[in-house]
Amino acid sequence: MVRFSAILAFERRPVKKMKFFPEERVKKTSSPPETPPQPKQEPEIKKRIIDSVVLNVKGGVGGCGNPKLRGKGGKGGDVYFIATKGESLVGLKKKLPYDQIHAESGGNASNLNHCLGRAGSDKWIPVPVGVNIYDNIGNYLGSLSKENHSLLVAKGGEGGNTKNEFRIRGGQSVTAKVQLQVVADVGIVGFKGSGKTTLWNHLTLPLSMEIPPIEPTKYADVRKMTYPDLRVIRVLDTPSFRLGMQDEKQGQQVLSYIKRTRLLLICLDATGHQLGPKKRLNLFESYLCLNKELQLFHPKMMSRPTVVVVTKINRPDSQFQEFESQLRNIDEYASMLPKESRPAEFFNLRHLVGMDLRHREEEKLNRLWESIRVFIDEYEFEREEKEKEAATFIRMHGRHN
Ligand SMILES: Nc1nc2c(ncn2[C@@H]2O[C@H](COP(=O)(O)OP(=O)(O)O)[C@@H](O)[C@H]2O)c(=O)[nH]1
Ligand SMILES: [Mg+2]
């Protein structure tokens, strides 16, 4: 009986498997690789705009107190963001690739000579001028709009002392999102096929450069227009506007870029826009539709200077001339439309031009270049004046919350 079970036990012993059979191993090392070496591929160009970075920051730990000597530990250092000219988000991320940025810990109250621990030094993190700071659940922490303005982001911990029974405290830990207030100076917005990317190319590419083939725009992208006096204005091209895009993640992102521009450049097809399988909007209706959607999305956008470029005016069914007169009496024409198509407030329209984008119409483009610059400067000037006025008012009357 015993012998029988011993045999069984032997048979049940697992067979040790070899990882590679020898011939396999030989094959692996000696045979040439089956696929010839591929030429090194160019890394794919990342088109996503970097408009925010997330930094984990932590205040310094408080120093240990000393119950025997009743000594007090030093306070941990605080973490501040400071608006610094010339700083960029990409530069910031490169400079601070660590997972967490700490301020210095407070010193311990170790002996009679060091009865009071030294306070840990604060950490100052330079960030670009013109950013808003949020925490990880989107709570607004503050903004840094002017050079050298600073914001306390994470407080250092208290050192051990009689009040806290000599227990040290860790510093505050904050996941801070640093987001640019302005993504681009000009935001091009319009329905599909209205010529946004074609216009963007005309505005931003040098004359000598060949216009790249036009493809549907998947990602928002920013390019610069450089004026002869080296003034730079950044222009945002966006994927086409769709109804309900605020309910999708990518749509929300595109709208958030458009929200953070200084001037709206609305691109419209002179022949109107096919909204759905059954509904076609004429040029005026397509203008009001965009107006209404953007006004509902962000009412403040209505005070922003707006330039309208109507494309494809060479087409026989162009409605451009009619559109010009409709805009002159916009209240009257809008009142003829059903109530649900009318926006509560109209765009702040400053310039209207009809173009045939198949050709480079130099004169019109030059006027567009110039007016964009003038409108942005006027708008910024007015905004600064208003800010100054508000600051004086607060100084005189106090802030009321
Ligand atoms: N005939 C004519 N075609 C245009 C004009 N503007 C743009 N297109 C064409 O319309 C198509 C869509 O243009 P695109 O710039 O991609 O529009 P987007 O979707 O608004 O970016 C392209 O084939 C362009 O060549 C124009 O003024 N006249
Ligand atoms: Mg496009």
Q: Is the same domain home to 327 and 297?
A: yes
* pLDDT tops 50 at residue 19: no
pLDDT value, residue 371: 96
Those residues whose C-beta lies under 8 Å from the C-beta of residue 50, and which sit 6 or more positions away, are: 89, 90, 93
Q: Which residues contact 337 (CB under 8 A, 6 or more apart)?
A: 285, 288
Atom of ligand 1 nearest to the CA of 313: 27
Q: Which atom of ligand 1 is nearest to the CA of 215?
A: 16
Domain end residue (candidates: 180, 213, 240): 180
- Average pLDDT of the segment spanning 231-236: 96
- Spatial contact of 171 and 326, defined as CB atoms under 8 Å apart: no
Range of the domain at 125: 52-180
Please check the confidence at residue 274 and state whether its pLDDT lies above 60. Answer: yes
With a 6 Å cutoff on the Cβ, whether 190 touches ligand 1 is yes
Does 144 share its domain with 266? Answer: no
Nearest-CA residue for atom 7 of ligand 1: 195
Task: Specify if 272 maps to a domain.
Answer: yes
What's the CA-to-centroid distance between 372 and ligand 1, angstroms? 21
In the prediction, which pLDDT does 116 show? Answer: 85
What confidence score (pLDDT) does residue 40 get? 53
Best probe residue, ligand 1, of 198, 242, 267, 364 (max atoms within 8 Å of C-beta): 198
List of residues 6+ apart from 315 with CB closer than 8 A: 270, 271
Question: Is 192 inside any structural domain?
Answer: yes
Q: Residue 13 pLDDT > 60, yes or no?
A: no
One domain, residues 215 and 142 = no
pLDDT at 275 over 50: yes
In a domain, 14, yes or no: no
**150 has pLDDT over 50:** yes
Highest mean pLDDT among 54-58, 90-94, 389-393 belongs to: 54-58
Looking at the structure, tell me whether residues 322 and 376 fall in a common domain.
yes
Return the best residue to mutate from 199, 214, 268, 286 for the ligand 1 pocket (most ligand atoms within 8 A of CB).
Answer: 214
- Judge if 278 and 369 occupy the same domain: yes
User: What pairs with residue 237 in β-bridges?
Assistant: 221
- Tell me what pLDDT residue 3 has: 46
Structure tokens at 215: 């493809």
What was the pLDDT predicted at 130? 95
Q: Is 193 in the pocket of ligand 1 (CB under 6 A)?
A: yes
Closest ligand to C-alpha of residue 313 is 1
User: Could you tell me if residue 230 is inside a domain?
Assistant: yes
At residue 13, what is the residue type?
R
Whether 191 has a pLDDT exceeding 60, the answer reads: yes
Closest ligand 1 atom to Cα of 356: 27
Residue nearest to atom 12 of ligand 1 (CA): 193
Domain end residue (candidates: 123, 157, 180):
180
Ligand 1 pocket test, candidate residues 219, 357, 360, most atoms within 8 A of CB? 357
Same domain, yes or no: 83 and 173: yes
- The ligand placed nearest to the CA atom of residue 201 is 1
Lowest mean pLDDT among 93-107, 118-132, 172-186, 258-272: 93-107
Q: Residue whose CA is closest, atom 19 of ligand 1?
A: 193
Q: C-alpha 177: how far from its chain's center?
A: 11
Ligand showing the shortest atom-to-Cα distance for residue 360: 1
> Residue 359 Cα, ligand 2 centroid: separation in angstroms?
17
pLDDT at 8 over 50: no
**What pLDDT was estimated at residue 70?**
80
Structure confidence at residue 181 (pLDDT) = 96
Render pLDDT for 319-377 as a digit per residue (tens, 0 to 9). 999 999 999 999 999 999 999 899 999 999 999 999 999 988 999 999 999 999 999 99
Bridge partners, 151 (sequence order): 81
Please tell me if the CB atom of residue 251 comes closer than 6 angstroms to any atom of ligand 1: no
Q: Is residue 89 part of a domain?
A: yes
Residue nearest to ligand 1 atom 9, measured at CA: 195
Q: Are residues 212 and 334 in the same domain?
A: yes
Q: Is the CB of 238 within 6 Å of ligand 1? A: no
CA distance 314 to 109: 82
Give the total number of structural domains in the chain: 2
Could you tell me the CATH number of the domain that includes residue 240? 3.40.50.300
195 lines ligand 1 (CB under 6 A): yes
Residue 110 Cα to ligand 1 middle (Å): 74
CATH of the domain at 124: 2.70.210.12
| Residues 315, 271 contacting (CB under 8 angstroms) | yes
Residue 12 forms part of a structural domain: no
Query: Are residue 68 and residue 92 in the same domain, yes or no?
Result: yes
Could you tell me if 196 and 176 lie in one domain? no
Atom of ligand 1 nearest to the CA of 311: 27
Shared-domain flag, residues 58 and 169: yes
Burial class (CB in 10 A: 0-12, 13-18, 19+), 322: middle
Q: Looking at residue 36, what is its pLDDT?
A: 57
Same domain, 282 and 373: yes
pLDDT, tens digit, for every residue of 21-43? 444 444 444 444 555 555 555 44
Picking from 156, 180, 204, the residue at the C-terminal end of a domain is 180
**Distance of CA 350 from the midpoint of ligand 2 (Å):** 23
Cα maximum dimension of the chain: 109
Q: Give the ligand at the shortest distance from the Cα of 217.
A: 2
Strands 273-274 and 280-281: antiparallel
pLDDT bin (cut points 50, 70, 90) of residue 400 is low
Examine the pLDDT at 20 and tell me if it is beyond 70: no
Q: What is the mean pLDDT of the chain?
A: 86
- Quickly tell me which residue has 């002179």 as its tokens: 270
Band of pLDDT at residue 226, cut at 50, 70 and 90: very high
pLDDT of residue 243: 93
For residue 215, the ligand closest to its alpha carbon is 1
Measured between alpha carbons, how far is 45 from 193 in angstroms, rounded to an integer?
Answer: 24
Q: Are residues 123 and 226 located together in one domain of the fold? A: no
